[in-house]
């Protein structure tokens, strides 16, 4: 009887602390969002095809994947892959081909139908690096940032918006480096709260590849001068291929997380950075930071402890409405997902 009770106790602890990981499908570079109704929306790529699936039960089960779109020579791997953003009524996927075009697709939540829409970049072939991020606000406006070399074949930080009633707006540069170009193979990040838009990117100034921030208070019509994040610097001849993560709090406070020479840092603009771990592949949403430490995939809330959620690469994580953490990643060409109960 005592043995039976101990077994029950162990099983209860396992259930409470988190579910076992589950295979989703073959694919790469997953992206995940949570909409205002608590629906988990997830996309991923496989060869030249983008797939979409969703969960209405906090990531316990997912619908049968459907095709969002497909095109030749899609960028896929090393943070290059389809990007996903979700607003109240729509979801947008942006995906880049190796010729430098940014394709986009829109899901209307009411009809659950995907449609191909106008390309994001308005100069053909201007984005061959394949590195971009997208986000949305509460008013069904979407925001995109990417590395673009239309200006003398030098990569700088390009920006556009998509309104519900029109196509992607005329592209503008949020930042152009005084030393011709930014870091050529690190993904920029973007976050929006109200009228405030924040963009973080890895710069390349005087041989240092440090993270910088530009902000806008008018939905991206104009951006501030670039501000370096953290006080340390990283002199590096090669490219780390690691852009970091960015979020904006309800009080419009800006939070950043990124790696420098294999150490993971958290910082507020103008403040000293704080080391929170070791690794690379850093991402951030809200106050949740996630990254890779070797093959171990780590999640950490800013006021919590590190937790291992799985093993593999390309981790994406979100906080669900019940405060649990949902993560999805790839391992040997297969996508896995798991939920960790909140500490």
Residue 6 lies in a domain: no
pLDDT reported for residue 164: 76
CATH number, domain at 168?
2.120.10.10
pLDDT reported for residue 341: 86
- Count Cβ neighbours within 10 Å for each residue of 165-187 and write b for 16 or more, e otherwise: eeebbebeebbebeeebbbebbb
Residue 138 lies in a domain: yes
* Domain count for the chain: 1
pLDDT reported for residue 343: 57
Residue 244 lies in a domain: yes
Domain containing residue 61: 24-340
pLDDT along the chain (343 residues), means of 10: 38 46 97 97 98 97 98 97 97 98 97 97 98 95 98 97 90 97 97 97 97 97 98 94 94 96 97 97 97 98 96 98 97 97 70
Residue 224 lies in a domain: yes
Residues 95/75, Cβ–Cβ less than 8 Å: yes
């Amino acid at each position: 009887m005592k043995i039976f009770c101990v077994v029950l106790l162990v099983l209860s602890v396992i259930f409470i602390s988190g579910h076992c990981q589950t295979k989703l499908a073959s694919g790469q570079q997953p992206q995940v969002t949570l909409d205002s109704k608590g629906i988990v929306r997830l996309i991923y790529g496989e060869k030249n095809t983008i797939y979409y699936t969703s969960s209405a039960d906090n990531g316990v089960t997912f619908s049968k994947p459907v095709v969002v779109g497909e095109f030749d020579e899609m960028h896929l791997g090393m943070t290059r892959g389809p990007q996903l953003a979700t607003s109240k009524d729509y979801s947008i996927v942006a995906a880049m081909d190796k010729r430098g075009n940014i394709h986009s697709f829109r899901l209307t939540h009411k009809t659950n139908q995907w449609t191909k829409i106008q390309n994001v970049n308005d100069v053909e072939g201007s984005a061959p690096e394949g590195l971009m991020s997208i986000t949305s606000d509460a008013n069904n406006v979407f925001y995109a940032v990417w590395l673009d070399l239309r200006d003398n074949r030098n990569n700088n930080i390009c920006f556009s918006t998509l309104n519900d009633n029109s196509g992607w707006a005329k592209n503008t540069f949020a930042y152009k480096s005084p030393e011709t170009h930014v870091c050529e193979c690190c993904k920029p990040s973007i976050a929006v709260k109200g009228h405030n838009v924040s963009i973080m990117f890895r710069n390349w100034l005087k041989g240092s590849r440090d993270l910088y921030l530009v902000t806008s208070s008018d939905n991206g019509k104009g951006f501030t001068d670039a501000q370096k994040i953290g006080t340390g610097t990283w002199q590096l001849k090669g490219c780390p291929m690691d852009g970091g993560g960015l979020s904006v709090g309800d009080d419009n406070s800006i939070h950043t997380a990124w790696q420098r020479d294999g150490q993971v840092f958290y910082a507020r603009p103008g403040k000293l950075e704080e080391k929170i771990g070791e690794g690379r592949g850093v991402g951030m949403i809200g106050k949740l930071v996630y990254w890779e430490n070797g093959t171990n995939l780590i999640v950490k809330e800013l006021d919590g402890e590190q937790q291992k959620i799985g093993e593999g690469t390309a981790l994406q994580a979100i906080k669900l409405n019940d405060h649990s953490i949902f993560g999805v990643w790839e391992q040997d060409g297969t996508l896995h997902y798991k939920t960790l109960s909140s500490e």
